[in-house]
Amino acid sequence: MKISTRGRYALRLMIDIGMNDKDNPVRIKDIAQRQEISEKYLEQIVSVLNKAGYVRSSRGPQGGYRLARAPKDYTVGDILTLIEGSLAPVACLDTPVNECPREAVCPTLILWKKIDDAVHGVVDSITLEDLLKWQNQLLPEEK
């Protein structure tokens, strides 16, 4: 499993909104500039996040995007799964019911399940709030 550029940028976009969503909505143009990502690409990603209710949009000169919920209410797994789809390392784990005809005799399925459990154990336990705290720790202190 490899997280695509789209998934990585979605996390960066959510972090940026979380960091800058103070008094006014955050504009895509500003996020694009800070994150050095194409506006058009961010618009595609934010559209998915908006339709899913992860962000709220407002129009007009002071328009932009805000988080729809508190940062603690988003997990990295929620965001990545929305953008990427399944995070499973193999196709047979993409659905709740494994329909592989070799399931009963496949020794590697145990390995794939362990990898899947490990990935979900990480991404489902880290919140956007955690990412925002980490971002704040990485920022140089203002003097």
98: phi > 0 → left, psi -120 to 50 → alpha, else beta; which?
beta
Q: What whole-number distance in Å separates Cα of residue 85 and Cα of residue 44?
A: 15
Domain positions in the chain are: 5-138
Place of tokens 């209710």: 53
pLDDT in tens, the chain (143 residues): 789 999 999 999 999 999 998 888 999 999 999 999 999 999 999 999 999 999 999 988 788 999 999 999 999 999 999 999 999 999 989 888 888 888 889 999 999 999 999 999 999 999 999 999 999 999 876 54
Architecture of domain 5-138: Orthogonal Bundle (1.10)
49, HSE (Cβ side, Cα atoms, 13 Å):
30
Beta-carbon contacts of 36 under 8 Å, excluding residues fewer than 6 positions away, are none
Neighbours of 75 (CB within 10 A): 18
Q: How much is the pTM? A: 0.90
